[in-house]
Amino acid sequence: MRGDNRSDQGKCTIEVDVDEAAEVEVRGETARVHTLSGGPSRFRRFDCDSIMPTRPNEFKFTGVDGRGRVTLVQDPRNGGVAVVRIEDPKGGREGYTFDLEWRGGGSYGGRGGYNGNGGSWNNNRDRHQDGYNDRNGSSYRGERGDHNQNTYTVTCSSENGRRQTCEADIRGSVRMVRQFSKSACRQNDTWGYDSRGIWVDHGCGADFEVGR
């Protein structure tokens, strides 16, 4: 993130890769992409110069690039969350870019978004990095400078009790840091990891810290 994290005004430029249809939710410094249909949607870029406040006084959405339809379906002035829907009418993947700009607003959002079937990105590092995200609930959130910068967080959820694998580079350490599902998450039983990434099963949903 560039500039004053809590400036009176700001702008985010977001680029996602979409197959058929997806929604992107932005709250504070976090973005999450939710695949509605087609192949898994992925972030290409999430670049903000400030944290978007909850209920900004002024807000502007601008579609920049992409062959399909890009629509603001929820204005953050009505609830603190911006939701953009992308509908791609042609076959194959396409990159879509849009800008969110705001002015004013007194408080700032934190984490939020869909807990399954999507990917998320927390833009709280000064240096842009690539993120892992897929249709099964994988996410990327960078750590602030006062935390261990050699780790990132992956969110993975077993939808409808089915086994899901979330893409991650597991050459380092992997540990569960927060369970959000009602079903138990037990290592080597309902969650684990292999060469493809982190897997969850039987309704387990949790955040996992991955070492680089």
Q: Is residue 125 part of a domain?
A: no
Q: Do residues 35 and 94 both lie within one domain?
A: yes
Q: Do residues 102 and 156 both lie within one domain?
A: no
Residue 124 has what pLDDT? 44
pLDDT digits (tens, 9 = 90+) for 129-159: 333 334 334 343 433 333 344 677 788 888 8
User: Angle at the Cα of 45 (from 98 to 31), degrees rounded to 5?
Assistant: 75
User: Angle at the Cα of 67 (from 84 to 2), degrees rounded to 5?
Assistant: 50
Residue 78 has what pLDDT? 80
Q: Is residue 2 part of a domain?
A: no
**pTM for this prediction:** 0.54
The rounded radius of gyration (Å) of the Cα atoms in the chain is: 17
Strand pairing of 118-122 and 140-141?
A: parallel
The structural domain count of the chain equals: 2
Phi, psi angles (nearest 5°) of residue 36: -90, -40
Q: Do residues 177 and 82 both lie within one domain?
A: no
Sheet hosting strand 140-141, strand order edge to edge: 69-74, 82-87, 21-27, 30-37, 118-122, 140-141
Q: Which two tokens stand for residue 36?
A: 């509605």
Interatomic CA distance for residues 105 and 97, integer angstroms? 25
Residue 195 has what pLDDT? 86
pLDDT digits (tens, 9 = 90+) for 47-77: 888 888 888 889 999 999 888 999 999 999 8
Please give the residue range of the domain that contains residue 165: 151-211
Q: Do residues 158 and 96 both lie within one domain?
A: no
Residue 107 has what pLDDT? 58
Q: Do residues 59 and 111 both lie within one domain?
A: yes
Q: Is residue 158 part of a domain?
A: yes
Q: Do residues 158 and 115 both lie within one domain?
A: no
Q: Which residues of the chain have pLDDT under 70?
A: 1-7, 106-150, 212
Distance of CA 60 to the CA centre of its chain: 21
Residue 149 has what pLDDT? 47
Q: Do residues 20 and 103 both lie within one domain?
A: yes
Q: Do residues 110 and 22 both lie within one domain?
A: yes
Phi, psi angles (nearest 5°) of residue 197: 140, -150
Q: Do residues 20 and 79 both lie within one domain?
A: yes
The answer to whether 80 touches 54, Cβ cutoff 8 Å, is yes
Q: Do residues 91 and 164 both lie within one domain?
A: no
The answer to whether 53 touches 109, Cβ cutoff 8 Å, is yes
Q: Do residues 115 and 15 both lie within one domain?
A: yes
Residue 212 has what pLDDT? 66
Residue 6 has what pLDDT? 54
